[in-house]
């Protein structure tokens, strides 16, 4: 997971992807649907997973096991 530092700018870091992912989650989506909708901004699956890990740790998203979809957390 890339974080901003002397070598990597904010735009190159995973942090710049977090708001984009949250904007795409206006409705629950499968991980595949979400990755497809962000194909132009997310460069690799590892970058995508790093961003999802951050959002999950921040309790911004959750994975619904029954439906297999990622959704925004309503309560934190």
10-72, what's its fold?
Arc Repressor Mutant, subunit A (1.10.10)
Q: What CA–CA distance (Å, rounded) separates 40 from 18?
A: 14
Q: Which pLDDT tens digit goes with each residue over 9-51?
A: 998 889 999 999 999 999 999 999 999 999 999 989 999 999 9
For residue range 53-70, list pLDDT tens digits in order. Answer: 999 999 999 999 999 999
Domain ranges of the chain: 10-72
Q: What are phi and psi of 61, to 5 degrees?
A: -135, 160
Q: What is the token pair recorded at 51?
A: 């961003």
Are 59 and 19 spatial neighbours (Cβ–Cβ below 8 Å)? Answer: no
Find out whether 62 and 71 touch, Cβ atoms under 8 Å. Answer: yes
Dist CA 10 CA 25 (whole Å):
22
């Amino acid at each position: 997971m890339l974080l901003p530092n002397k070598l990597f700018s904010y735009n190159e870091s995973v942090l710049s992807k977090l708001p984009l992912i949250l904007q795409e989650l206006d409705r629950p989506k499968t991980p595949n649907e979400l990755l497809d909708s962000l194909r132009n901004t997310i460069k690799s699956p590892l970058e995508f997973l790093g961003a999802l890990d951050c959002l999950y740790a921040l309790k911004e998203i959750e994975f619904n096991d029954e439906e297999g979809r990622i959704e925004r957390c309503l309560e934190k």
